[in-house]
Amino acid sequence: MKKIKSPYQRVKEWRERNPDKIKAQRTVFVNLRNGKLKKAKCLCGKRKVEAHHEDYFKPLDVIWLCKGCHIEADKNRRARFSTVLLDTVL
Ligand SMILES: [Zn+2]
């Protein structure tokens, strides 16, 4: 029988799988608070935005997107990122 994971456990596992993402989000949060980073409107004009990263290794390279555009951008990046990773030596 499969064990059902608690939401807490899911978040914990997600964090362990995505340390670069966590780090990038934290950097954005800190820099928003100290004023080094400013939110901007989404490309579609919406004002309620979230930080989108094209590259988590450049945490301050942020594109401000609304929820809908963010989901689309993440899909596109995932497609691109898998090819980028292949020829990037970290
Ligand atoms: Zn948008």
Give the model confidence (pLDDT) of 50-69 as tens digits: 999 988 899 999 999 999 99
Query: How far away, in angstroms, is 40 Cα from ligand 1 center?
Result: 11
pLDDT of residue 2: 73
pLDDT tier at 88, thresholds 50, 70, 90:
very low
Query: How far away, in angstroms, is 66 Cα from ligand 1 center?
Result: 4
Query: How far away, in angstroms, is 44 Cα from ligand 1 center?
Result: 4
Dihedral of the alpha carbons of 63, 66, 71, 75, in degrees to the nearest 10:
-30
Alpha-carbon torsion 17, 19, 20, 23, what sign? positive
pTM score, whole prediction = 0.71
